[in-house]
Amino acid sequence: MTALANRPTPEQSVTSEFVNTPLLPYNDAETARQQAEAIERVRAMLGQTYPLIIGGERIARDDTFTSINPARPDEVVGRFTRATAADAQRAIDAAATAFTTWQTIAPERRANLLLAAADLLTARRMEFNAWLIFETGKSWPEADADVAEGIDFLNFYAREMYRLAQPQPLTRIPTEDNALHYIPLGVGVVIPPWNFPLAIMAGMTTASIVAGNTVVLKPASTAATIAARFVDLLLEAGCPAGVVNFLPGPGGVIGDTLVADPRTRFIAFTGSMEVGLHINSLAAQQQPGQKWIKRTILEMGGKDAIVVDETADLDAAAQAIVASAFGYQGQKCSAGSRAIIVDAVYDAVVARVVERARALVIGDPADQATQVGPVIDASAFKKIREYIEVGRDEGRLALGGGDVDRPGYYIPPTIIQDVKPDARIAVEEIFGPVLAIIRAADFTEALRVANATDYGLTGSLFSRDAQRIERAAREFHVGNLYFNRKCTGALVGVHPFGGFNMSGTDSKAGGRDYLLLFTQAKVISALKG
C-alpha cells in the first residue's frame, strides 16, 4: 500500500474542487513530438502476452486469443489467456474473499486509491493514448479525450465517495439520534465496451471499488490490452489483491457464468442493446442460494439525432453534424447518426455537411493528420457495409459507400440523404461512419421524428428560436440534450451521461448520483437517554 501511504491526507486531496482534465494541445510542436515518441515506444511493446489476474495470482496458459490493430490486421497488439467458466467461478471466489476486508476500509482511504491511480494515469497519459491508437483505431485527439475522461472519472468518483462518507442530512427529532450510511453491495461484474476502453472501463471499475465493492472485470476482447494495463496501474497504486480481478475471454462462456452466479450482487455493463437486455433478463432470475435482487447498471445503444431548423446557424450545424457522425468513425453510442433538417434549409445544410465530410482525412491513426481511422474489426466492417447497401435502397447516396485503398477495416464517411423516418438506417443502430439525413416539413415534424426511435440517449437542436428551444427541452426525450452544439463529448461532472428507453438505465455516469448505484443506504437509529 506504499502509493496510498504517500498520498496527502484525504482532507487535503479529496476536498479540493474537481476540475476537468484539459485536452493535450497537439498543435504545439513539442506536445506532438512527445506523443509521436510515445507511439514508437508502445509500438515496440506490441504483441506481449497478458495473463489472467485472480486474487493477485497471474495465470497464463497456452489457450490464448489476440487483439489486433484494426488499421493493420496482421499486427498483434496483445495476446491473452482465454478464461474459462471455472476461472470465472474462481474469480468470484477471490472477489468474495477480498470483499470481507475491502468493505471495512475507510471510504476516504478507498478514495485515495483512486487519486493515486489518477496521478499514475496522468503521468502515463501519452503511453495510454498510444495503446488506444493501436488497439482501437482512435485518432490522436479521440484517444486523448478517452484517457482524459478516465482521469476525470478517477478524480470525480474519489471526491464523490468522500462526500457520501460524510454525515448525511436527515430530519432531526428530539428523542433519537439517527444516521444514514452508504455501504457497499458486494461482488460485482464489470463488462465494459471496446469503444471507450479506458474511460468507461476505468469509470465503472473504480466507481465499484471506491464504494467498497470488489469486482471481476471482463474486458472487451478487442480492447483487452488497455484493460490489462489499467489493472496493473491500479495494483501499482495500491489496490489489494482480489479487489479487481482481470478475466478476459468470450462473453458467451464466462459472461453468463459471472452474471448468473448467486454471489454476484451487481452487473455494470456498457454495450449493445441486445447484450444488455440479455444481462438484465439473466440477472433477474433468482439462483439457488441467492438472497438479493441483483442490480444492473446498463448503458446501451443510441440512434441519436441532430435537428436543424430554419433559424439555425447553418455552418455551425453542419460542423456539429460531421463531428458527431464521424468522430471515431461513428463508433460512439452518442454519435449523431441522424440529421433531421427542416425543408426550408434542407438542401443548404446537406451541401455543407457533404463538403465538410469529404474533406476529412482518412489514414493510419498513428499519423497525427488522420481524422478518420478504421472500424474496430472484421465483424463491424461487414455489418456496416451491409447497412450501407440497405441505405442505397432507402435513400440517395450523397457521399462515400466505396472502398478505401489501404489495409485495415476502413469505411469512408458515408452520407445517405432523403431517408424516410421509418427506414432501417434511420431507426437501427449502425455503429459506424454512416449518416442518415431526413427531411422534415417543419420543427414539429422534426421533433416527432427525433423521438421516433426505441432509444433515447443524446440529441441536439440547432435553433435561434427561444420558444422552440424551450419546447425541445420539454419534449425531446433523451438523457443528454444539447442546444447549438454537437451531441457527443460529454464531460465528467458537467454532463452526467446516460439515456432513456432502450439506451439503458439512465445511470448518469460522471454525475453526483452515480455512486449511489453501487451502494445501499443503511439507517441507524438510537433512542436518546
Q: Is 2-7+42-300+507-524 a domain of CATH 3.20.20.140? A: no
Q: Name the helix (H) or strand (E) containing 144.
A: helix 140-164
The pLDDT, as a whole number, for residue 16 is: 84
160 is catalytic: no
**Every domain of the chain and the residues it spans:** 2-7+42-300+507-524, 304-491
Query: Phi and psi of 405, rounded to 5°?
Result: -80, 75
333 is catalytic: yes
The pLDDT, as a whole number, for residue 49 is: 98
The pLDDT, as a whole number, for residue 1 is: 34
* pLDDT tens, residue by residue, 427-441: 999 999 999 999 999
Among residues 108, 135, 160, 299, the one annotated as catalytic is: 299
**Taking a C-beta distance cutoff of 8 angstroms, is the pair 121, 150 a contact?**
yes
Could you report how far apart the first and last alpha carbons of the chain are, in Å?
Answer: 42
Among residues 108, 149, 160, 333, the one annotated as catalytic is: 333
* pLDDT tens, residue by residue, 374-402: 999 999 999 999 999 999 999 999 999 99
Give the DSSP letter string of 265-307.
EEEEEES-HHHHHHHHHHHTSPPTT--SPPEEEEE----EEEE
In 291-392, DSSP assigns E strands to: 295-299, 304-308, 336-342
| Grid cell locating 69 | 490493430
> With a cut of 70, which residues of the chain have pLDDT below it?
1-13, 15
The pLDDT, as a whole number, for residue 6 is: 44
**Are the folds of 2-7+42-300+507-524 and 304-491 the same?**
no
The pLDDT, as a whole number, for residue 13 is: 61
Please name the fold of domain 304-491.
Answer: Aldehyde Dehydrogenase; Chain A, domain 2 (3.40.309)
